[in-house]
Each structure stands twice: as C-alpha cells, then as structure tokens.
Amino acid sequence: MSAPRLPEQKASQETAASAYSERGSITAFVALLVVPLFALLGLVVDGGNAISAQQAAAVEAEQAARAGAGALSVAGLRSGVVALSSQRAVADAVAATVAAGHPGSAVVSGGTVTVHVAYRIPTDILGIVGISSLPVEATATAVDLAGVTEGTP
C-alpha cells in the first residue's frame, strides 16, 4: 500500500503540470513583438534616410532654379533690359537637375524659374513589412535680380 500524498507533494505536481502547459508562451510573445519592433526600427532608420533625401532634393531644386534664373537674354541685355531667356533657363535648370543625379522639370513664368524634383529612395528595413521605397520631392523657385536690392524681392 502506498502512503497518502502530503499536501506539499500535491501542490508541487500541480505547479509542474501548469508550468508544462505554459511552455512556449514566451516564444509566441516574442514572435508577436518582432514585427512591430522591425516596423518601428524601419520608421527610425528609413524615416531618417527619407528626411535626409528630402533635404538633399530641396537643395538640388534650389540650385537648379538658381542656374535657370541666371540664364539672361542676350538680346534683352543689349537693349538694356534684364530678362530671362525662357528656353535657356529651362534647359539650364533641367541640366542642373540631371547633373545632380535626379532629373526634374522646370517652368519659367513671369521671370521666375520654378523647378520640381521627384524620385523614390529604396528602404533598408521597411522592405521587411512590404514598403520597398519612399517618395522624395521638392520644388524651388528663383528669380534673377538686377542691381543692388534691399529687403525681400
């Protein structure tokens, strides 16, 4: 005949059985947290890259607009008028965007050159959650000023 079980033995057997039934719960918990953690890491890394690319695109557009605004009309200068050569301004602005590595578009309206640059940058980490690239775009305007100016044109 076996001896009756003591309460301590019964409690330790129940604890062992419940611990066995919870086995693997940490794995499920970690698996559920991995995707949001990668998404957050992707937002930090790829978002930082996108902000940096946005600033670079703005600089490229500004430089291209300035290049276009410097395309003065030779005929206008000979007659004593400072005016843009629209075709040359657009060509110079577009050439500046191509030289910067991101071709853009340019428009001349009323002596103001407007340049738009748009492209996509690849993602490093967000590709894991299905976002393979992020859009980057910038628009800038420039006008050629004649003589000495004070304040805002």
Q: Which residues pair with 121 in a beta bridge?
A: 134
Least confident of 36-50, 62-76, 90-104: 62-76
Q: Is the pLDDT assigned to residue 46 strictly greater than 80? A: yes
Percent of the chain clearing pLDDT 70 (strictly above):
75
Give the residue-averaged pLDDT of 53-72: 92
Query: Can you tell me the distance from the alpha carbon of 80 to that of 44, in angstroms, rounded to the nearest whole number?
Result: 55
Residue position matching structure tokens 């965007």: 97
pLDDT band at 120 (very low <50, low <70, confident <90, very high): very high
